[in-house]
Amino acid sequence: MIYGIGIDIIKIDRMRSAVERWGRRFLEKVFTEQEIRYCYERSDPYPSLAVRFAVKEALIKAIGSRVFIPLTDIEVVNSMDGAPIIRAHGKLKYFLMEKSISHCHISISHERDFGIAFVVLER
């Protein structure tokens, strides 16, 4: 049974501007160390940062306004086959257990200017 769905789109230059303006402080407020490391292993980290931010926003939309989830409690990593998955921490982990949410399906994509993410929460 579907608990919630969420979608988010972000302009990649918006992420670039935020990082250039606030630097490491911004990155650490939004992303985990593993996410930052993964994105900065790319020649251009901003598309990867942007889609991870979009996943976090889409997940929050799927949850609804029922609870505040810190962005760093939502970690986007890659599975063994390279597919993006959500690793839950802190309040998100507790919320998913409390609501019996068994799967967080995500799909991400980016092109030159935009990144997009879609999340489906399933019980």
- Residue 75: pLDDT above 80? yes
Judge whether 84 and 76 are in contact, CB under 8 Å: yes
Residue 66: pLDDT over 80: no
User: 2-122 is classed in which CATH architecture?
Assistant: Alpha-Beta Complex (3.90)
Mean pLDDT value across residues 39-68: 95
Q: What is the CA radius of gyration of the chain?
A: 14
Instruction: Tell me the pLDDT band of 94, cut-offs 50, 70 and 90.
Output: very high
Which residue is catalytic, options 11, 29, 56, 61? 61
Q: What are phi and psi of 112, to 5 degrees?
A: -50, -45
61 is a catalytic site residue: yes
CA distance 91 to 37: 23
pLDDT at position 45 is 98
Q: State pTM to two decimals.
A: 0.96
Is 99 marked active-site?
Answer: no
Confidence grade of residue 14 (pLDDT, cut at 50, 70, 90): very high
